[in-house]
Amino acid sequence: MLNFMENIEALPVADWTSNFVDMLTDTFAFLFDPIKDGLGDVMDLITSGLDAIPPVIFILLVAILAFFMTGKKFGLAVFSIIGLLFIWNQGLWDQLIDTFTLVLTSSILCIIIGVPIGILMSKSKIAQSIITPILDFMQTMPAFVYLIPAVAFFSIGVVPGIFASLIFATPPTVRFTNLGIRQVSEELVEAADAFGSTGAQKLFKVELPMAKYTIMAGINQTVMLALSMVVIASMIGAPGLGREVLSSLQRAQVGPGFVAGLSIVVLAIIIDRFTQNIYKDKSK
């Protein structure tokens, strides 16, 4: 059996993949370049706007927002103040803003793309059967692999980092949107049909409101996955705290790497608690 396999020529999958990516790059260069420039300009605009806010004011705004979002509890507000002050004290404020901009931009794009696809899956069994294996592939493929086509399409910089994050972080939003709509009570859907609701009215006035907590849970996972790509995206030029971790790793500097990693943890906890309180059912 081994001799038989050794005599079979290996399939040129690597060559096929390289040729396919080259074909896409050449064919859609007119599309990739404007996307790269447009996303770069948007991120520069967001970063400039956040940088214009003095760190003290920014920290206070986050703390106030945390206080009211958690039902006037001080826990998250106090943690936000201490954590953000720590990051500022360590001289990583600019990197924090860059990281937050990357996560915010990629998360918004994931939601814009993921929610409509999830709605499509919930309405069509055919679409679900086609899209589900694609989502499985997106979630099981190692995140580093996404960097290769990202660089091929958009070169080095922050935009390929967003592209890689988009592939890696979109599936939870798609899956949870599909799940949330499918779990809506059939009685409610039948009642909407009985009152003569159109498909759009039924979707926006019944199904999406009833599925909002499930959908927001998926968005929470998407945001956290986007944040987990920060260090990986830094390998292809994305700025932020991930670049500090990567630089420390390359130089075997334990201290700076620990501080940058701890700053990412602080940001992750704050973002996670914020998104959790958005989708938490206040009636319970």
Q: What is the CATH number of the domain that holds 43?
A: 1.10.3720.10
- In terms of phi and psi (left: phi > 0; alpha: psi -120 to 50; beta: otherwise), the region of 280 is beta
In a domain, 188, yes or no: yes
Listed in sequence order, the residues at least 6 apart from 232 whose beta carbon sits closer than 8 Å to its beta carbon are: 143, 144, 147, 164, 242
SS3 7: coil
Task: Specify if 19 maps to a domain.
Answer: yes
Asked whether residue 96 is assigned to any structural domain, the reply reads yes
pLDDT category, 129, cuts 50, 70, 90? Answer: very high
- pLDDT for 166-218, tens place per residue? 888 899 999 999 999 988 888 888 888 787 778 788 888 888 888 888 999 89
* CA–CA distance, 243 with 75 (Å, rounded to integer): 30
Please report, as a single letter, which amino acid is at residue 44. Answer: D
8 inside domain: no
- How far CA 112 is from CA of 52, 174, 188, 211, in Å, comes to 27, 10, 26, 17
Residue 71 lies in a domain: no
Contact assessment for residue 200 and residue 64, using Cβ atoms and an 8 Å cutoff? no
- Expressed as residue numbers, the domain containing 268 is 13-52+90-279
pLDDT in tens, 235-270: 877 788 888 888 887 888 888 889 888 999 999 899
Q: How many CB atoms lie within 10 A of CB 229?
A: 25
Question: For residue 43, is it within any domain?
Answer: yes
Asked, for residue 77, whether it belongs to a domain, the answer is no
Q: What is the pLDDT of residues 135-177, one digit of tens each?
A: 988 888 877 777 777 777 777 777 888 888 888 889 999 999 9
Residue 97 has pLDDT above 70, yes or no: yes
Please give the tally of structural domains in the chain.
1
